[in-house]
């Protein structure tokens, strides 16, 4: 009878690497599938003409909304400063920041010129968070872009992008902190309203 706990323990130990491997594989597959779908639209010759650019942009927008969890990005970018916002202000901020990030991201990827994307490894950062390595290979250099993703509600979603070592979330958190040290949440909202209309990056 004493052998049963030992056998159960061995089974659990052997199962742990498989579970971790399944998680990293899931994160990598999510990023690879999402990015490949974006690339398919970018490479489609039907969208080479300037007159079709807006149609292409709308198709890309749908994929980007699946790739990123904008609520999570907004929460992390504001950090503790969220406590200074009313629920109504938070709703407006989330909507404005989402629109802002989407436009910036779409502007950049629509300038894609058929560079090669190389997928690296996925590393678990915690029980349900992972970082997936990718590289954009141009004729002269490689640009490392890592996607941080979280597994929640039975699906993976992106919550940060690290480009050449610079975290998108930390970058905006730093900007928002500087603004809110001197100004109010309403002031930040107004800056973001203006920047969304102009498609510019907010500064203090």
Domain residue spans in the chain?
Answer: 3-198
CB 176 within 8 A of CB 78: yes
* Cα(126)–Cα(111) distance, integer angstroms: 34
List the chain pLDDT tens, one digit each, 204 residues. Answer: 455 554 444 344 344 444 557 788 999 999 999 999 999 999 999 998 999 999 999 999 999 999 999 999 999 999 999 999 999 999 999 999 999 999 989 988 888 887 899 999 999 999 999 999 999 998 888 889 999 999 999 999 999 999 999 999 999 999 999 999 999 999 999 999 999 987 654 444
CATH architecture for the domain at 3-198 = Roll (3.10)
Q: Which two tokens stand for residue 40?
A: 């398919």
Q: Provide the pLDDT for residue 149.
A: 97
Q: Provide the pLDDT for residue 199.
A: 60
Q: Provide the pLDDT for residue 17.
A: 44
pTM score above 0.95: no
Q: What is the pLDDT of residues 147-175, one digit of tens each?
A: 999 999 999 999 999 999 999 999 999 99
Q: Which two tokens stand for residue 70?
A: 């904008």
Q: Provide the pLDDT for residue 204.
A: 47
Q: Provide the pLDDT for residue 67.
A: 95
Q: Provide the pLDDT for residue 141.
A: 87
b/e map 131-169, b = 16+ CB within 10 Å: bbbbbeeeeeeeeebbbbbbbeeeebbbbbbbeeeebbb
Q: Which two tokens stand for residue 93?
A: 């901020």
């Amino acid at each position: 009878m004493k052998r049963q706990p030992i056998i159960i323990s061995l089974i659990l130990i052997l199962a742990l690497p498989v579970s971790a491997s399944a998680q990293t594989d899931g994160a990598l597959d999510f990023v690879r599938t999402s990015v490949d779908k974006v690339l398919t639209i970018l490479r489609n010759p039907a969208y080479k003409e300037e007159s079709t650019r807006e149609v292409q942009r709308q198709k890309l927008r749908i994929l980007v909304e699946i790739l990123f969890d904008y609520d999570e990005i907004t929460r992390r970018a504001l950090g503790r400063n969220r406590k200074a916002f009313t629920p109504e202000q938070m709703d407006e901020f989330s909507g404005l920041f989402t629109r802002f990030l989407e436009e910036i991201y779409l502007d950049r990827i629509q300038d894609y010129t058929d560079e090669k994307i190389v997928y690296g490894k996925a590393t678990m950062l915690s029980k349900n968070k992972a970082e997936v390595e990718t590289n954009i290979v141009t004729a002269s250099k490689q640009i490392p872009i890592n996607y941080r993703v979280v597994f929640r509600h039975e699906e993976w979603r992106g919550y940060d992008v690290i480009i050449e070592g610079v975290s998108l979330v930390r970058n905006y958190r730093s900007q928002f902190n500087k603004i809110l040290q001197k100004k109010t949440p309403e002031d930040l909202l107004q800056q973001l309203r203006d920047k969304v209309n102009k498609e510019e990056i907010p500064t203090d």
